Structure 1
Amino acid sequence: MHIIQAVIGAVLYMTIFFSIGFILNMLLKKTWTLVFIYPIFVIMMIDNVKLSSYVTETSTALTSVYEGLVGLQLLDLFMLGFGLLGAILAGVTIRFLRKSGYSMF
């Protein structure tokens, strides 16, 4: 992966997760919803294990997650980190808007 692709990907991840987090925070009225859900998104992106396998075949599924996390390259971590940053910024933005008196619904 070239550095240009990583920069564009990082900006896209940040924008996407900021947008999703902002909308979830508005609708659910919970400030940090996506920050807690984000690791589940990351796990779903890096391994190809069914969600039911975490209950039925726990050790195999967790081994797959570990191998996926260890196999990530620096640029992958860079992009995923910017996704987390977008989710955090959505929470900060919603908190600021609520303190300023803005009511969503």
Structure 2
Amino acid sequence: MQMTIFILPISMLLFFVLFFGIGFILNMLLRMSWIMAVIYPFITILIIDKVRFIEYFNNTKDSFSSLWTEITSLAIADVLILSSGMAGAIVAGIVIKMLRNRGYRMF
């Protein structure tokens, strides 16, 4: 599918908001400020790669070779969208830290 100039910023905003929200809720419930920023690279690998997760243990060399091929063949739009998701996860950690430092208790 061809990505137009209108779809790219909307997709970036949606990924930012989605992972900010998920990260904020996880940080609130688990009391670990950076949990989503740590989990996000694994989620990104699951989004990018077409190899089943168990194959990373059964057929390690071919699985990581396939992953590297998929990562290097990403378009700039895909990299921007995935990066905005990571930015959302990081901003969620920063916001939780700021709220806790200012005395707000979340759960």
Whether these two folds match at TM > 0.5 is yes
- Which amino acid in 1 is paired with 2:4? H
CA distance in 2 between counterparts of 1:66 and 1:14 reads 24
CA distance in 1 between counterparts of 2:8 and 2:106 reads 34
- Which amino acid in 2 is paired with 1:17? F
Task: Name which of 31, 41, 66 aligns with 2:33.
Answer: 31
SS in 2 for 1:3: coil
* Corresponding residue pairs, total: 105
- Which amino acid in 2 is paired with 1:42? T
Alignment of 1:9-24 (within 5 A): 9-24=11-26
1:38-96 CA distance string (max 9 Å, x none): 11011000111111101000011101110110110111111111101100000000000
Q: Name the counterpart of 1:44.
A: 46
> TM-score scaled to structure 1, two decimals?
0.97
Q: Tell me the CA shift for residue 4 of structure 1.
A: 1.1
- Which amino acid in 2 is paired with 1:87? A
Q: Name the counterpart of 2:58.
A: 56
Q: Tell me the CA shift for residue 98 of structure 1.
A: 0.2
Q: Name the counterpart of 1:76.
A: 78
Identity %: 40
Q: Give the superposed CA RMSD.
A: 0.6
- Which amino acid in 2 is paired with 1:82? S
> TM-score scaled to structure 2, two decimals?
0.96
Q: Tell me the CA shift for residue 3 of structure 1.
A: 1.6
CA distance in 2 between counterparts of 1:97 and 1:62 reads 39
Q: Tell me the CA shift for residue 36 of structure 1.
A: 0.8
